[in-house]
Structure 1
């Protein structure tokens, strides 16, 4: 006998015939609507003949058989049942048998009756089509009973054992219940055993859906492949597409994503059957793909739908444009816009807003302004008449402010109001106020604040924070505090950011008392300090040398639920090192290690600088090696601390060795400060030739000397009385537009006045050539000789 998986069903009754048969006895209402639309047509020639008009006798016989079967338990009187069926053979047709099975109301008794009929000489009543429909009735009974899933599974095995193929109705019943229970293995068995002619679209959809939901991707794809074949009996429909596209959206998470080839292939194959995602689902799909880092797949998906003529509108394109903008892929953004135009997809204000936004973020503000002009006109050459909205203008105003073009931003805000009828809102004013504050134009920001209120636009805490922060950063701390208290009295309350700006400003000017007052005020008005506020206070107290207060704030920080981070520990370490409390500094380091907080390069630089200042070079070198072993790269600050320490200790040879190591080993280029430290030390040791050589080394490496460099050299040259070299350097200083300071003038005035060279000093002050002969640099092509125009730049006009 064929196994369940090998069995091939024969053709069965047509849907119309079966419904006609069942409606005679009022049984069609027992099928849920889902089953009815899943029923498919079969060959009507296989339908058992309808009952004759002698319905009264037939109904009586059916009633007698049903009552007899219901009254019996396991021991049936086979003879009695046989006599009853034989005596009514003329009216007891296969449809009457189906009535008996349905009216028994018990799938177990119905199955037993079916099996009894098969063994008896009355088996002629059960032809193969009739047997299939008998099993359909039994499946229906079982689906309404307790443990129906187990019973349905067992009936599938039994029907196979009897060689009875499934009808479309039987398949509908089991697919419905197995699908709801996510019994995907059983669903696949039903699909595999079902005759291909009965695999209709709705039934296949009912199998594919739970397979996809259970992440049985390959099994679902196998059924979809059958549906997508050119001559398929079950071609996909919109419901198929809905299932697939919803799965795309739900499965785009780690471990549940279809690969790129599968997604594009399905979209293309479904498109060949005229099935496309609607605009909303396509937009959701593109957004989710991009959000998951699959922008290329989103690009291919959109273009696959475009290529096949699917419904593509501006929202789907906007979704892709948004993420292309985030990666600054302007080339593909322009391509999408060109394709939209070619396909007649009308861009909307959001489309242009996206392009303007990312152009501004890339500081390509002029191009963004060109986009605005194209929006506002329809000229037949690519311009699209779309009215920009307030968001568009605010984006451009922000972009202009961020590149320092505040006046143009203000003009655009006026144009927005006068030409387009949009009044500036709070965002507009906040953007302008912040832009002028960052440019240091605090008075203009205050004017805008006053104008904002005059026009009835309510300022918010962002407005307040921009002005307070701008005043603080440009040295107007008292004005910031006064302004803050003024707006507070009018009902506009600050937040943590406001207090942080003020506290940081007062800490920076070493007014710790006022900073603590603001901290206390902050807590009293209900603003919760964040870690930045605590760090600001810890750093301020540490710089001021008030370590006890710094530790007190650190304790409050921990009580508030914040953990000290590397920045906070570095601030405390710096304060301890300035006080030369190295023992406590080491204790703090051990505390960091216990709490699992790794030191960073700043931590190492603080300690190396402290040890170098204390001339503890052995430990400083050991710490440098540990810094490297911990994966940190020494910076110019690290080497500068060691060089400065060796120079103070008079060990210039070791200091010069470190400079050479920077070039040959660490590849960290020395800066002007390092050169100045070495040059000053060499000049103090009267090694002026070595200092001049080091200055030439600066020139070769492109490190410009500053006034401090020249001052050190002038002092050394004065000791040696090397006038010619001094005149040469005075000319070079003018050529570089390097302004002399009071130390320069003090050294040169004392020296040159004593030897009667005040005329040269006067020429130097006025930016004229000092050397008596043609400029040595012009003869030798000195790379520091920028241009003759530099001679008159940055002149000092009086001594």
Structure 2
């Protein structure tokens, strides 16, 4: 990952952790089923670099299409027809798109539209802000009248398009209507809508939807519960998250690592170290193997609570369990050490981090810079800042503000303005934000002087 520069090496005084075996196991990023469906044929083609239709006027669109059709040596295939329809639908009304669709069929007898062609019109109809769903039903009826009855893909496109347009309640309405017509959505569409509801509605509304869909044979699965647990945990409602885990188990599902990591993250947000450790013990007792995210979350939570020594203990444990510490692991520990006033100990971890082949990122450097300045180690902080400048790293709001205030209080106003110039040049902060922080600090320092 590269050697440590002499200027960083000069910051280091001690070694805090031993080097792991050279053949440290590799690890993959933590992934979890999110309810995303496999690729579906919605009639969409690759992004067009140029839209041939410059006007939404139907007559102009017909002329453009006729010109394209006559100037093409080979007959337009389904893909080209769909691409042209989608291009026009991007700038027209639903009625004009349907009229354009009919024009293509009339002028091109060889063109045989498929379900994917109608799905283009359906996706467009979902963007119309109409609570009555008139445009959606218009396209669905148009499909049926032409021999294409809605299927699960149709339902999925309608639900996703409505949600992406911000019409979540309408998406629920469409799903229920489709289910009543024996077009019951699959688990992917169902869980997608549950996720959208969790983001925009209270939990009672989400539960009401889940209960109502049970009458159509759709029951919550592990993904459904995970989505709800993630939502309540992020809102710091850990009591409800724990209750959902119990409910999940009663339904016959076994909580996986992602579920426990989510709850652990929630306790970290509340700085509850004991509860974080308890989650680890519970998942191990139930035979769920912790992964890299589990240990990183645990180390972050303990470090945030000031229990750095306990966090270091789990650093050793994760290595023994075959999980190689990454930049998240080390940055969490550095943050904990800086919070306890041991900024030099945090800098020592930087040496160990690079010695083990782990490259520090901007968050790592900003954490150290903030800690050094807070710890009244300005010169060492400036050394680190110099490295950040050399590598073109951005300053975050906290480290920038702390560095500027420390420089101003040390009477180094010119240096503070140089940091301001770099923050603006590197686009670390907006010009206004960076300037206001600097000016407020300068005024405060001048006011404090006798």
- TM-score, length of structure 2 as denominator length: 0.69
Q: How far apart, CA to CA, are the structure 2 residues paired with 1:557 and 1:356?
A: 50
Q: Does 1:398 align with 2:160?
A: yes
Q: Which residue of 2 aligns with 1:271?
A: none
Counterpart of 2:305 in structure 1 is 544
Counterpart contact for 1:440–1:474, Cα < 8 Å: no
RMSD: 4.2
Q: How does 1:230-241 map to 2 (within 5 A)?
A: none
Query: Deviations along 1:488-545, whole A, 9 cap, x unmatched?
Result: 1231222222222111101111122222222222233343333222221111111111
How far apart are the structure 2 equivalents of 1:530 and 1:356?
42
Please give the per-residue CA displacement for 1:415-463, whole angstroms capped at 9, x wherever unaligned: 2234x44245544442332222111411101222222335442221111
Deviations 1:703-724 (A, max 9, x none): xxxxxxxxxxxxxxxxxxxxxx
Report Cα offsets for 1:637-656 as digits up to 9, x if no partner: 44222113234x36373475
Shift of residue 371, structure 1, vs aligned partner: 6.9
- Distance in 2 (alpha carbons) for counterparts of 1:402 and 1:499: 29
1:664–1:544 Cα change, 3 Å: closer
Gaps of 5+ in 1: 1-289, 297-302, 689-799
Helix, strand or coil: the match of 1:686? helix
Cα pair 2:395 2:423 within 8 Å, conserved: no
1:499 to 245, 251, 260: 260
1:377 corresponding residue in structure 2? 142
Q: Give the Cα–Cα distance (whole angstroms) in 1 for the partners of residues 269 and 174 of structure 2.
A: 37
Is structure 2 residue 113 aligned with structure 1 residue 347? yes
Aligned to 2:366: 605
Q: 1:434 aligns with which of 195, 198, 215?
A: 195
Q: 1:609 to 1:455 in 2, by over 3 A?
A: same
Contact 1:397 1:409 in 2 (8 A): yes
Structure 1 residues 616 and 687, CA gap change in structure 2 (3 angstroms):
closer
Residue 410, structure 1, aligned to residue 172, structure 2: yes
Structure 1 residue 340, shift from structure 2 partner: 6.6
Tell which structure's C-alpha radius of gyration is larger. 1
Matched, 1:531 2:321: no
Equivalent residues in 2 for 1:227-266 (5 A)? Answer: none
8 A Cα contact 2:424 2:434, kept in partner:
no
The change in CA–CA distance for 1:440 and 1:542 in structure 2 (over 3 A counts) is farther
Give 1:661 deviation, angstroms.
Answer: 2.5
Counterpart in the other structure of 1:585: 346
- Work out which of the residue numbers 209, 229, 248 in structure 2 matches 1:487: 248
Q: Which has the higher contact order (CA 8 A, sep 6+)?
A: 2
Q: Is the Cα contact below 8 Å between 1:496 and 1:527 reproduced in 2?
A: yes
User: Residue in 2 aligned with 1:651?
Assistant: 411
Relative distance call for 1:670 and 1:609 in structure 2 (3 A) is farther
Contact 1:429/1:449 (<8 A) preserved: no
Counterpart mapping for 1:359-758 below 5 A: 365-366=127-128, 370=135, 373-377=138-142, 384=146, 386-418=148-180, 420-647=181-408, 649=409, 651=411, 653-654=413-414, 657-658=417-418, 661-662=421-422, 666=426, 668-670=429-431, 672=433, 675=436, 678-679=439-440, 682-683=443-444, 685-686=446-447
The unaligned stretches of length 5 or more in structure 2 are 1-44, 51-68, 92-96
Size of the aligned set, in residue pairs, is: 376
1:5-20 equivalence runs, <5 A: none
Partner of 2:39: none
Q: Kindly tell me: are residues 422 and 645 of structure 1, through their superposed partners in 2, closer, same or farther at Cα, counting changes over 3 Å?
A: same
Tell me, yes or no, if the aligned pair for 2:405 and 2:441 is still in contact at 8 Å: no
- The whole-number CA distance in structure 1 between the counterparts of 2:420 and 2:356 is 38
Structure 2 CA distance, aligned partners of 1:461 and 1:644? 49
